[in-house]
């Protein structure tokens, strides 16, 4: 009986947190990649204005298929802004690119809309992910589908890319999480 009451209490508490309004906003700081064999080129993406709108193009140099391309995701926080990042418990296990795109696209969907500010067809969860050059236009980082409670500071998300079980590089996105003004 105690176990049932405990489970009901946990469910009610988690539902209550979901109803809380977000008290933070997020904005892009930087996006970088490394690795000479990286199948992604993001060097043409720039951030403009106070709002840090992402603009430019990125290129997938090859089709990213479900069998040979895997990614691992990790997150880090720098609360003070001194460059000393601490790892957070929010991670994505090693999984195929297609599975990851399908599982985590909901976090980016409010920001990146096909036909509005990109021509990348992520909303269809294509597999393999097609090679090509894609544009981004005035992309604002929207945290609509992010957790209600987020640590403040500089949040770094790192996706390490593996091709045929070889580490070929990583993609790093840094955003700033701050209280709503």
pLDDT in tens, 6-63: 555 566 555 555 556 678 889 999 999 998 899 999 989 999 998 899 999 999 999 9
Q: What is the mean pLDDT of residues 74-87?
A: 94
Return the sign of the alpha-carbon dihedral for residues 117, 98, 132, 40: positive
Is there a contact between 105 and 121 (Cβ–Cβ < 8 Å)?
no
**What's the whole-model pTM score?**
0.83
Q: What is the pLDDT of residues 153-168, one digit of tens each?
A: 999 999 999 999 999 9
CA distance 95 to 12: 32
Position 131 scores a pLDDT of: 94
Q: Is 46 helix (H, G, I), strand (E, B) or coil?
A: strand
- Comparing 125 with 133, the larger pLDDT belongs to 133
Per-residue confidence band for 150, with pLDDT thresholds at 50, 70 and 90:
confident
Sorted by where each starts, the structural domains of the chain and their CATH numbers stand as 23-179 (2.70.220)
Q: In this predicted structure, which of 1-15, 52-66, 121-135, 165-179 has the lowest mean pLDDT?
A: 1-15
Q: What is the pLDDT of residue 147?
A: 84
- Only one residue has tokens 């909901």, namely 106
Q: Is 68 exposed, middle or buried (0-12, 13-18, 19+ CB in 10 A)?
A: middle
């Amino acid at each position: 009986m105690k176990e049932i009451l405990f489970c009901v209490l946990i469910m009610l508490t988690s539902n209550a947190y979901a109803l809380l309004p977000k008290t933070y906003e997020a904005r892009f700081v930087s996006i970088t990649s490394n690795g000479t064999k990286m199948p992604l080129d993001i060097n043409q993406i720039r951030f403009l204005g106070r709002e840090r709108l992402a603009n430019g193009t990125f290129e997938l140099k090859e089709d990213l298929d479900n069998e040979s391309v895997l990614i691992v995701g990790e997150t880090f926080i720098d609360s003070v802004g001194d460059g000393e990042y601490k790892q957070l418990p929010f991670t994505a296990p090693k999984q195929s690119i297609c599975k990851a795109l399908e599982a985590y696209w909901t976090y980016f969907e409010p920001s990146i809309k096909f036909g509005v500010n990109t021509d990348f067809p992520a909303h269809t969860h294509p597999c393999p992910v097609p090679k090509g050059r894609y544009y981004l236009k005035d992309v604002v980082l929207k945290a609509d589908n992010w957790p209600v409670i987020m640590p403040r500071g500089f949040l770094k998300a790192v996706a390490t890319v593996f091709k045929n079980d070889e580490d070929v590089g990583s993609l790093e996105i840094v955003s700033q999480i701050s209280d709503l003004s």
